[in-house]
Structure 1
Amino acid sequence: MARRRARRRGWCQRRILTILIVLTLLAGAALLLLARTRPQDLPWTPLDLAQPMGLFTGRKIAALGAQPALCRQLMIRAGAQNDVMPPFGGDGECRVANPVKLGGGSRAITLRPHNPAMTCPVAAGMAVWEWEVIQPAARRILGQRVDAIEHIGTYNCRQIRGGGPLSQHATANAIDIGAFMLGDGTKVSVLDDWTKGGPKAQFLRAVRDGSCGLFSTVLSPDYNAAHANHLHLDQAARGARGWRTCK
């Protein structure tokens, strides 16, 4: 009887080991396939801004704050020209050391009323946001493209509203988006159209939701009254596993 139990136990252990080996091989094959077909869904693959958005695209873009030269190279490689600007903001906490401005290139992005200086991770997030989220949503929901994105500021040396630590705007690591201008001249405004329902409101929510995979923080009118007229987008550095906010 004891020998029978030992043989059965040995058989069960071998069966379990075989199953674990098979599962490990299957998981490895799945990761290899994912690395080839959806590299941005994996945390360790190199960032390519020309690739479709993935689960880790936003975290990889935010991490480029420590690598401004690489950030610019990745943008240029993907077709988003950007120009290096001189540092500004003094020598204190509000200093912006490596600002850029979005320029021309094969996939130019038009920001109005002027092209503001910002950190490269914000510019990279804006580029992919337009390519992967804004234009597809505009075609799908509104039947035309967006010609310009209207912003209401990037740099503002101040604390978070209501007090507390410095805002991401204090280092131009954020941008506030107020409206979108369509090809036929129609304006889609966060302030005027967010609560009205219909295609414009649907479009605004679609671009808000899509931005959550590209920026560390996304705040909309659904968050509080202070954001009734804009979408706040920033690239706060919180690490590869840091929390992200989308409201």
Structure 2
Amino acid sequence: MRRLHLIIRRLLWIAALAALALAGFAFLRQRPQDLPWTDLDLSQPVGLFTGRKLAALTRSPALCRSLLDRAGIAYGAMAPGGTGQCAYADAVRLKPQTGAIALAPPAVAPSCPVAAALRLWEWHVVQPAAQARFGQPVRAIRHFGSYSCRRLYGRSEGDFSEHATADAIDIAGFTLADGRRITVVGGWQGQGKDAAFLRQVRDGACDLFATVLSPDYNAAHRDHLHLDQAERGATGRRACR
């Protein structure tokens, strides 16, 4: 009798685990963006693996551009440029379109994975945060540029910056619909709405970019958020500071 009870108990545990597995599978089927092996879809909400999939697009420029096309993101593909460690081949210029946040200055042309992440950041992080904090949308994202053939921190030797291949952009601030400007250098410190908004968009960027560096990281980033799509291979290591 005791052995029969043990067998029944084990069968009940197996049935419970099977039910949990089926429930989990059903849930994940509704959220393909949370699975590492599903294809990236820019029209889907941000998932657990969206950031890694975006960074992996650095190896697939044509796929990246096709994803922009499918998501209805207006852009212009730029001709390859640069040489050596500063060569790039996948830069795109986001075009103005109805309902999209403008980049200021508008002539910036980051790599396609950075551009894709910027649009997702706008849709899922920046605009919701602005509406919640200020009751109005962001009209423009101000930046310090993307492509710059240089090493990290402008040093004369050492590793090259992600800016050297247009795989980064430095965000200086935001202009709201009513014209008010929120800058990283002027709004990061303190406990007000501006500081809360800037930290919220920084944290949200960490789900979309391989590297996010803010004034909390060091003095070199006191006036901007550095966002890049460094492709770090199988490790998938990410930085959010």
Same fold (TM over 0.5): yes
* Match in the other structure for 1:155: 147
2:186 pairs, out of 155, 170, 192, with 192
* Match in the other structure for 2:55: 62
Larger Cα-atom Rg: 1
* Match in the other structure for 2:134: 142
| Alpha-carbon separation, structure 2, partners of 1:21 and 1:94 | 57
Segments of structure 2 that go 5 or more residues without pairing to the other structure are none
* Match in the other structure for 1:244: 238
CA displacement, residues 81-129 of structure 1 (integer Å, 9 cap, x when unaligned):
1211001112x11100121111144553310123311111000000000
Letter in 2 for 1:55: L
Asked if the contact 1:80/1:104 (under 8 Å) is kept, the reply is no
* Match in the other structure for 2:164: 170
The TM-score with structure 2 as length reference comes to 0.92
1:230 aligns with 2:221: no
SS of aligned partner of 1:93: helix
Asked if the contact 1:154/1:175 (under 8 Å) is kept, the reply is yes
Question: Structure 1 stretch 39-48 or stretch 162-171: which is displaced more?
Answer: 162-171
* Match in the other structure for 1:103: 95
1:203 pairs, out of 197, 203, 213, with 197
CA displacement, residues 20-49 of structure 1 (integer Å, 9 cap, x when unaligned):
35414522431232222x221111222111
Deviation at 1:239, TM superposition (A): 3.4
Question: Structure 1 stretch 12-21 or stretch 122-131: which is displaced more?
Answer: 12-21
1:212 pairs, out of 206, 210, 224, with 206
Asked if the contact 2:143/2:171 (under 8 Å) is kept, the reply is yes
Question: Structure 1 stretch 129-138 or stretch 93-102: which is displaced more?
Answer: 93-102
| Alpha-carbon separation, structure 1, partners of 2:234 and 2:28 | 19
Letter in 1 for 2:205: S
* Match in the other structure for 1:43: 36
Letter in 1 for 2:212: V
Counterparts in 2 of 1:150 and 1:19: CA distance versus 1, 3 Å: same
* Match in the other structure for 2:177: 183
Asked if the contact 1:101/1:117 (under 8 Å) is kept, the reply is yes
Counterparts in 2 of 1:65 and 1:180: CA distance versus 1, 3 Å: same
Counterparts in 2 of 1:167 and 1:190: CA distance versus 1, 3 Å: same
1:52 pairs, out of 31, 42, 45, with 45
CA displacement, residues 191-217 of structure 1 (integer Å, 9 cap, x when unaligned):
011113311111101100110000000
Question: Structure 1 stretch 57-66 or stretch 221-230: which is displaced more?
Answer: 57-66
Counterparts in 2 of 1:83 and 1:128: CA distance versus 1, 3 Å: same
Letter in 1 for 2:43: A
Asked if the contact 1:80/1:107 (under 8 Å) is kept, the reply is no
* Match in the other structure for 2:20: 26
Task: Kindly tell me the number of residue pairs found equivalent between the two proteins.
Answer: 239
| Alpha-carbon separation, structure 1, partners of 2:88 and 2:146 | 11
| Alpha-carbon separation, structure 2, partners of 1:42 and 1:24 | 20
Segments of structure 1 that go 5 or more residues without pairing to the other structure are none
SS of aligned partner of 2:163: helix
| Alpha-carbon separation, structure 2, partners of 1:32 and 1:82 | 36
| Alpha-carbon separation, structure 1, partners of 2:143 and 2:32 | 31
Asked if the contact 1:96/1:171 (under 8 Å) is kept, the reply is yes
Asked if the contact 1:60/1:240 (under 8 Å) is kept, the reply is no
Counterparts in 2 of 1:241 and 1:107: CA distance versus 1, 3 Å: farther
Percent identical residues: 54
